[in-house]
Structure 1
Amino acid sequence: MTDLTIIPAVNHTPEPVFVARHLINGKWQASANGETFERASPAHGQTVTEAALGGAAETEAAIAAAREAFDDGRWSRISGKERAEILLKVAAFIERDLDRIAMRDTLESGKPISQARDEIGGAIDIWRFAASLARTVSGDSHNSLGDDMLGLVLKEPVGVAALIAPWNFPFLIVSQKLPFALAAGCTAVVKPSELTPSSAVILGELLMEAGIPDGVVNIVLGYGDPVGTTMCESESVDMVSFTGSTAVGKAIVRASAGTLKKVSLELGGKNPQVVFPDCDLDEATDAIVFGVYFNAGECCNSGSRIIVHEDIAEALTERVVALSKKVPFGDPLDPRTKVGAIISDAHFDKIDSYVSGARSDGAAIPLGGGALAVPGLSGRFYTPTVVTNVNSTMAVAREEVFGPVLSVLTFKTIEEAIALANGAAYGLSAGVWSNDVSTCLAFARRVQAGTVWTNTWMDGFSELPFGGVKQSGLGRELGRYGLEEYLEVKTVTMRIGRTRASWVE
C-alpha cells in the first residue's frame, strides 16, 4: 500500500541487553531456580531484555517483605511530609533519567520514542501530584453528637497493595498506581508485564536512590500465573490493583474472592465518539485519527468506533481515510514516527482476525486491513485500517480490537446515538462532537462511561480521576479519588464526659 506514510529503519547503535532482576526487601535478586526469560523488540527483532523469571517463592518473599514493612510502621506511620519528600525525589530522578526509561519502553513495547518520552513526562507530573496528596490525607470530625461525645472518622492506609501493570503503557500505568499507594502509606508488590519489565526495574532503582525504606516497594518479574495468582490469593495482601483485559480482571476477582481483599480494576473499552453534523469536521477528523492510531490502537482509551450522523458520514469517512494515509507508521526509534509495532505475533493475529471477520460479515474496508512492511525492519506492523458498513451486531463494533482499526457506524437521532454508544458491554470513555453545548451535555449525562470528552479526545490530567463502569472496571485512578482507593475509613467514637447511664442498676 504505497500511498501510506512509512518511516523506514533508522541507523541506530543497538542498545545493550538490559538485565532485570527482582527487587525484594531492598535487594536485587535472581530467581531461586536461576530461570530467566528474554524479550525481543517487536519492531526490530533483537533480544533487548533478559529478566529473572519469578515464581511463587519470589512472590511470597516479596509479599512477606511488604507485610513486615507495613506492620512495623517504617512507612505507614511516618508523616505525610516525609513520604512526600521521597516521592518528589523520585520524580526528580525520573526527569533526570527520562531518555533512558523511554528507550527501554520503546524497545520492549514497540511504541514510538517520542510518545514514550511524553508518557514519562506525564508520569513525572503524576508523581509530583501524588506527593502533594501525601500531606493532605484527612478524615472528619463530628461535634454534634451530644455534649459528652465526639466522633472521628480516620482515613488509614489499606496495607499491602499488589499492583499488576500491563504492557501497553509500562511506566505510565505503574505511575498511576504506585505513587498514590505510597502517598497513602501503603507498601507494595509490583508485577510489571513480562513483555515490558525494564522500566519498572529502573523505577525500583530510582526509589532506592531516593531513600525509600527496604521492603516498602518490591518488584517481582514473571508471568501472571504464578506471580499474579499468588498475589491475589495471599492472605497477607490487602488490596489488588490491576490494569489489563476484562477477561483477566474477572480472573483476578475470582482469585481474590477467597480473602475478600479490596480490588481495583481498570479494564477494557470500546469507546465511542459520536459526531453530530454541526461540529467542526476538521477538528473531529484529527481527533478521530489520533484516537484510533495512538499507541497503535493498543490502548484501553482507543477511540475505536465512531458513531456519525448519516448526513455527514460519507464526508467524514473520506476525511478520516485521507488523513490516515498521512500518519507516519514505522521505526519507533525515529522521532517522526507516530505509530510503531504491534506487541506480539499472537496479538497481531487477533487484530487481523477482527478485520477478516468484519469483511466476512459484509463490512467494507476502504483502507488497510493487513500487515504493513517497513523497509529495513522485520518486526510486526499493522496498516491503518478503517471499516465501514458496520452494524452494532458485528464483533468489530462490540469487542475490543486493541489495534489500529476504526469501525464506522451511523445514526439519525440523538436517541439512536446514545443507544449505540451504550450498546457495548464496556463503559470506559466516550466522546461527543457538536457546537451545541446542550447536545454535548445531554450526551454526557446519559452515556455510560467513566470519562466523557466533548470536542476533544484523550486529554488527561493528574487531577482528574480515571476509570470505567460496567465491564470496564472498578474504582478510580488519578486525582484525589486515586488516593482514596488506597485508604480505609475507621470510625472512632469517644465519650469525653462522665454522663453515661448505667445499663444495670
Structure 2
Amino acid sequence: MLEHKNFYIDGAWCQASGDETTEVVNPATEQVIATVPAASAKDVDAAVAAARAALPGWSRTTPAERKAFLDRLHQGLVERADEIAATVTAEMGAPRQLSARVQAGLPIAVAESYARLLETYEFEERIATYLVVKEPVGVVAAITPWNYPLHQVVAKVAAALAAGCTVVLKPSEVTPLNAYLLAEIVDAIELPAGVFNLVPGIGSVAGEALVVHPDVDMVSFTGSTRAGKRIGELAAATVKKVALELGAKSANIILPDADLDSAVRDGVANVLSNSGQTCTAWTRMLVHRDSYERAVELAKEAAESTVVGDPADERTQVGPVASAAHRNRVRAYIVDGVGQGARLVTGGVEPPAGLLTGYYVRPTVFADVTEDMTIAQEEIFGPVIVLMPYADEEDALRIANNSLYGLSGAVFSASEERAVAFARRLDTGMVHINGARLNLLAPFGGYKQSGNGRELGVHGLEEFLQPKALQLPAPAATGRTAP
C-alpha cells in the first residue's frame, strides 16, 4: 500500500500539521491502495501564504517565460502518461483504454493548448484613447472532482499559470494520487517556489478553508451543484471571484430525419463512457414518437452489448463507479425510477453477472420517462439513460429546456443546418452536432444551475484574467481642420 505523508507547499515537500488521513480505495477490488494526509486549516494557511508570496514575481513574468514552463509541464505529462493512466484506473476505476486515451490524453492536450495559446494571445489592447491591460486575478484555489481527476486539475492549473496566477490545488479526496504525480512533475521542472501548491483533504475542512481565506482571490470549482452553492455563499463574504462547473441533465435530441441506429448507439455510448460519471453526458434521449419503440430496442441492444468488467482488462468498456457511496446513490435512483413508474428496459440494481466485488452498476435503460420523474430531472452520474418521446420539434425543445441545468446536449439530424438551427434554441452552454467530439479550444461551461464561467481555450484563459483600463489623454489638437 502506498503512503503519502507530505504536501507540496512553497516548492518543497513538507509534512502535514496533523495526523488526519484519507484512504484511497480501488473501486474494482474494494481494497485500500493508499493513504494520503488530510489538510487542516493550518496547512491551507501555509499553502496560501506561499502562493501569495510568489504572486508578485510570477505575475510579472512574460508570456514567453510562462510558455517555457508550460512546455516543460506538457513534456512531463507525456513522459509519465502510462503511469498517469494506471493511477487513474486504480483510484477511480476508469477502464484501461479510456484512461490511456482520455484520463491521461486530455491533460496532455490541454497543457499543450495553453502553451500554444501564449504564443499569440494579446494581454494588452489599445482602443481609441484607452489601453486595456489584462492582469492575473491573483491567488487561485482550484478545487477539483474525481471523475476526470487529472484533466480537471490541468484545465484549471494550466490556464491559471498561463494567466500569471499562482495556485493552491485541493483535489478530490477520492482520487488524490494523480495530483501527486502532477506535483512531482512541477517539482522536476523547477517551477518557482509557491506558484503551485498541493493540499489534499476533505471538502468541508480544506476546501472551505480555501474558499473563505482572505488571501485567495478566486475559487475555480468543479463538482456538484449543491457544493457549488455552498462555495458561492462562503465566497460572498470576501467578494472573491468564483467560477463553477456544476451538475447537468443534458438532452440528446434525435430529430425525425436522423439516422436512428447511429444516433442511438452514439447516445448510449456517450452515457456509458466513464461509467456514466461525466458531467456532459447526454442522459435524456428524446426521440420522435413514431420512432420511439425502435429507439428503445436499439438502446437496450447497445447497453446489453457493452462489456462491463475489470478496468485493467483491455476488453472492458465500463468499469465500476468511483466509490461505494456513489454506487449506492446511483442504485437509489434506479429504485426511484421503477417506483415512479418508468419502464426498466435493461439493467437494474443487481450487480453485473460475476462481479460481486467492486462498485459496479449495470448499464441501465429506462423508457416511458415523464418530465416530472426524478430520473428525468436530477443528475444520476452513473450508467443510466432515460428515453422520452416527443410529438414534434417544439415539444422536443420544451422537454429539453425543462431542466434546472444547462451544461451540454446533442442534436442529430440528416441536415447539419437543421441540427444547428435547433441547437441555437437550446438553453445550454454546449451542443454536440451529429456526434461531434469535444473540442479543447472551445469554451466549456454551462447555463442556469450548471454553473458560471468557462474553461478551455481563450475563454478558459480569460477566466483567470481581469481587465484594467488605462485612460489615456486625447491627442493634442493640431489646429488644422479637415479638408
Scaled to the shorter chain, the TM-score interval is over 0.9
Matched, 1:80 2:58: no
| One of 446, 452, 455 as aligned partner of 1:477 | 455
**Given that residues 277 and 382 in structure 2 are in contact (C-alpha distance below 8 angstroms), is that contact kept between their aligned partners in structure 1?**
yes
Gaps of 5+ in 2: 478-483
Measure, in 2, the Cα distance between the counterparts of 1:115 and 1:47: 22
Measure, in 1, the Cα distance between the counterparts of 2:185 and 2:270: 32
> Secondary structure at 1:446's aligned position in 2?
coil
Shift of 1:34: 2.6
Q: Decide whether aligned partners of structure 1 residues 438 and 90 sit closer, same or farther in structure 2, where only a CA change above 3 A counts.
A: closer
- 2:381 — aligned with what? 402
Q: Decide whether aligned partners of structure 1 residues 129 and 308 sit closer, same or farther in structure 2, where only a CA change above 3 A counts.
A: same
Shift of 1:37: 2.0
> Secondary structure at 1:182's aligned position in 2?
helix
- 1:184 — aligned with what? 163
Q: What code does the residue aligned with 2:76 have? A: F
Measure, in 2, the Cα distance between the counterparts of 1:419 and 1:20: 52
Shift of 1:35: 2.4
- 2:123 — aligned with what? 138
What's the RMSD between the two structures over aligned residues? 1.5
Q: What code does the residue aligned with 1:430 have? A: G
Matched, 1:455 2:434: yes
| One of 9, 16, 35 as aligned partner of 1:24 | 9
- 1:122 — aligned with what? 106
- CA offsets per residue over residues 164-186 of structure 1, 9 Å max, x none? 00011110111111101000000
TM-score for the superposition, normalised by structure 1: 0.92
- CA offsets per residue over residues 450-481 of structure 1, 9 Å max, x none? 00111115x11221110000000100000100
Measure, in 1, the Cα distance between the counterparts of 2:354 and 2:247: 33
**Given that residues 371 and 381 in structure 1 are in contact (C-alpha distance below 8 angstroms), is that contact kept between their aligned partners in structure 2?**
no
Measure, in 1, the Cα distance between the counterparts of 2:59 and 2:96: 37
Measure, in 2, the Cα distance between the counterparts of 1:276 and 1:141: 46
| One of 375, 387, 412 as aligned partner of 1:433 | 412
| One of 386, 391, 402 as aligned partner of 2:365 | 386
Measure, in 2, the Cα distance between the counterparts of 1:89 and 1:462: 20
Written as runs of structure 1 = structure 2, the 5 A alignment for 1:46-195 is 46-71=31-56, 73=57, 75-119=58-102, 120-135=104-119, 136-143=121-128, 150-195=129-174
**Given that residues 264 and 474 in structure 1 are in contact (C-alpha distance below 8 angstroms), is that contact kept between their aligned partners in structure 2?**
yes
**Given that residues 187 and 216 in structure 1 are in contact (C-alpha distance below 8 angstroms), is that contact kept between their aligned partners in structure 2?**
yes
Q: What code does the residue aligned with 2:89 have? A: T
Measure, in 2, the Cα distance between the counterparts of 1:167 and 1:261: 25
**Given that residues 408 and 446 in structure 2 are in contact (C-alpha distance below 8 angstroms), is that contact kept between their aligned partners in structure 1?**
yes
- CA offsets per residue over residues 85-140 of structure 1, 9 Å max, x none? 11111111111111111111111111112111112112111101101223424232
Shift of 1:288: 1.1
Shift of 1:232: 0.8
Q: What code does the residue aligned with 2:30 have? A: G
| One of 16, 20, 24 as aligned partner of 1:39 | 24
- 2:480 — aligned with what? none
- Which moves more between the two structures, 298-307 or 482-491? 298-307
**Given that residues 308 and 352 in structure 2 are in contact (C-alpha distance below 8 angstroms), is that contact kept between their aligned partners in structure 1?**
no
Shift of 1:283: 1.5
Gaps of 5+ in 1: 1-15, 144-149, 500-505
> Secondary structure at 1:328's aligned position in 2?
coil
Shift of 1:66: 0.2
Measure, in 1, the Cα distance between the counterparts of 2:411 and 2:467: 37
Written as runs of structure 1 = structure 2, the 5 A alignment for 1:192-207 is 192-207=171-186
- 1:371 — aligned with what? 350
Matched, 1:328 2:278: no
- 1:247 — aligned with what? 226
Shift of 1:377: 6.1
> Secondary structure at 2:315's aligned position in 1?
coil
Shift of 1:312: 0.5
Measure, in 2, the Cα distance between the counterparts of 1:137 and 1:163: 25
% of aligned pairs identical?
39
Q: Decide whether aligned partners of structure 1 residues 431 and 177 sit closer, same or farther in structure 2, where only a CA change above 3 A counts.
A: same
Matched, 1:464 2:448: no
Measure, in 1, the Cα distance between the counterparts of 2:6 and 2:171: 12
- Which moves more between the two structures, 366-375 or 100-109? 366-375
Q: Decide whether aligned partners of structure 1 residues 89 and 281 sit closer, same or farther in structure 2, where only a CA change above 3 A counts.
A: same
Measure, in 1, the Cα distance between the counterparts of 2:81 and 2:423: 36
Shift of 1:376: 6.7
**Given that residues 70 and 115 in structure 2 are in contact (C-alpha distance below 8 angstroms), is that contact kept between their aligned partners in structure 1?**
yes
- 2:216 — aligned with what? 237
Measure, in 2, the Cα distance between the counterparts of 1:58 and 1:44: 32
Measure, in 1, the Cα distance between the counterparts of 2:96 and 2:4: 21
Measure, in 1, the Cα distance between the counterparts of 2:283 and 2:217: 35
Measure, in 2, the Cα distance between the counterparts of 1:227 and 1:170: 18
- CA offsets per residue over residues 36-55 of structure 1, 9 Å max, x none? 22111111122111101111
> Secondary structure at 1:176's aligned position in 2?
helix
Matched, 1:290 2:274: no
**Given that residues 6 and 13 in structure 2 are in contact (C-alpha distance below 8 angstroms), is that contact kept between their aligned partners in structure 1?**
yes
Measure, in 2, the Cα distance between the counterparts of 1:242 and 1:299: 15
TM-score for the superposition, normalised by structure 2: 0.96
- CA offsets per residue over residues 23-71 of structure 1, 9 Å max, x none? 1111112311232221111111221111011110001110010001003
**Given that residues 454 and 463 in structure 2 are in contact (C-alpha distance below 8 angstroms), is that contact kept between their aligned partners in structure 1?**
yes
Measure, in 1, the Cα distance between the counterparts of 2:239 and 2:122: 25
- 2:257 — aligned with what? 278
Measure, in 1, the Cα distance between the counterparts of 2:320 and 2:136: 40
**Given that residues 71 and 112 in structure 2 are in contact (C-alpha distance below 8 angstroms), is that contact kept between their aligned partners in structure 1?**
yes
